[in-house]
Amino acid sequence: MIDQRRLIKAKHLSWVLTGLFLILTACSTMMGLAPVKESTERISDWLIVPVFYATNRVRNTDSNAIDYIEQKNDKGLLFGIKNIIIPYPASPSLAHDTMEHMGWQSIHLQNPLPPGEVPPILQEHKMPDQEFSAAQMVKAFDKYYGITGSDEAVLFIHGCCATYKTSMERAAKLTVQMGAPVVVYDWVSPIGFTHYLANETLAEQSYDDFCKFLDAVAKYVPPANTTLIGHSMGAAFVDEALVRRFQRTYGGQVLPKYREIILSQPDIDARSYLKHDKHIVSQAEKTRIFMVLDDSRLKASSLAHGRFERLGRPGPLLSNLCQLDKQDIIDMTITGIGHNLPYNFIASMHRTGTINEEGYKAIRKEPHLFVLEKTTKIQE
């Protein structure tokens, strides 16, 4: 009997140690995968882009500027618009009329700033930074949407471990590439990959608010004119919201389709997604999943989740994902982009249905699988 008890305790200890090993290994891997910081060295030209946002972070009362801290606001979402400065894009070329309609402004520096520094935004904005109530947000965005003359709007949900500043900069870059008004859903996500599991829990705690927000947006911008973009863990917001939305059809409700659903390097369990992907795809004119098959961050995420495949790194499940009409898979492995948001590839595929720029082209390998290949040597 004693030996039996010892054997059971030994097995339990073995399971605990194995679990701890997996978690520690994953965290150790993630700690070495700090976000890549884009160099600002030798940049003379900058672009100021107004970005609308909804955030569940707490307002930074120590700052005179609009800013938010890494703390969840239990009182609900806060709204606003803020002008964000980013490096002037190498592509696409920006027409004067486009910049005028979108409210973008350019800055040219005679002497580039040291690496890591950005110029202050001193000039007067066409759309000043401002915080809104929910009703004011709707009115302001509706007015801006009309001014731009765009036939679509983009709702962007960032991934884990991103500050307010980072998520806004990503939204600004996405705005320029897509050439359409963007609203970013900014959820509190403490930086540092040791906080990965905390980020996952905070995301789950935010799903209800996001679903309500998505429904509210649909009342003013029709789904047919809306593109949803979720990056990494942000893709889980889109997945969860659309699973819930599809359940309405059980009562006979007819769902208007979204213009496009884009899941970029999605940090979602691939097997779970495959159980309901036909329901997701049925809610959009087109669904696209961008992935990097050797994505090291999703490899770490897989390890932390018991070695199960993630949607952005599906392994042997890739062929299963290529079975649905109106769902395309774009394999970007050759680009070496890793886990970074592929702004230009997303925009190119969205506009033209293919990619043929910046030294890459998309080759259709199967009816719903595109693989990027190099066309010219990329200068280092």
pLDDT tens string 176-235: 999 999 999 999 998 876 789 899 999 999 999 999 999 999 988 999 999 999 999 999
Average pLDDT over residues 88-111: 90
pLDDT, residue 38, reads 58
Tell me the per-residue pLDDT of 316-334, one tens digit each, with 9 for 90 and over.
Answer: 999 999 999 999 999 999 9
pLDDT, residue 147, reads 92
For 104, how many CA atoms within 13 A lie in the half-sphere containing its CB? 26
Mean pLDDT of all residues in the chain?
Answer: 88
Average pLDDT over residues 338-367: 93
In the structure encoding, which two tokens stand for residue 300, read together? Answer: 């770490």
Between 99-108, 165-174, 268-277, the lowest mean confidence (pLDDT) is in: 99-108
Q: Are 341 and 294 in contact (CB under 8 A)?
A: no
**pLDDT band at residue 356, thresholds of 50, 70 and 90?**
confident
* Distance in angstroms between the alpha carbons of the first and the last residue of the chain: 68
Is 15 a residue whose pLDDT tops 60?
no
Alpha-carbon dihedral angle through residues 135, 138, 143, 146, given to the nearest 10 degrees: -160
Closest C-alpha among 255, 181, 242, 234 to residue 211: 242
Between the CA of residue 37 and those of 33, 77, 191, 314, what are the distances in Å? 12, 29, 14, 27
Is 378 a residue whose pLDDT tops 80?
no
Average pLDDT over residues 123-144: 89
To which residue do tokens 């994902």 refer?
Answer: 321
- Rounded Cα–Cα distance for residues 229 and 309 (Å): 21
- Rounded Cα–Cα distance for residues 296 and 316 (Å): 17
In the structure encoding, which two tokens stand for residue 102, read together? Answer: 């979108």
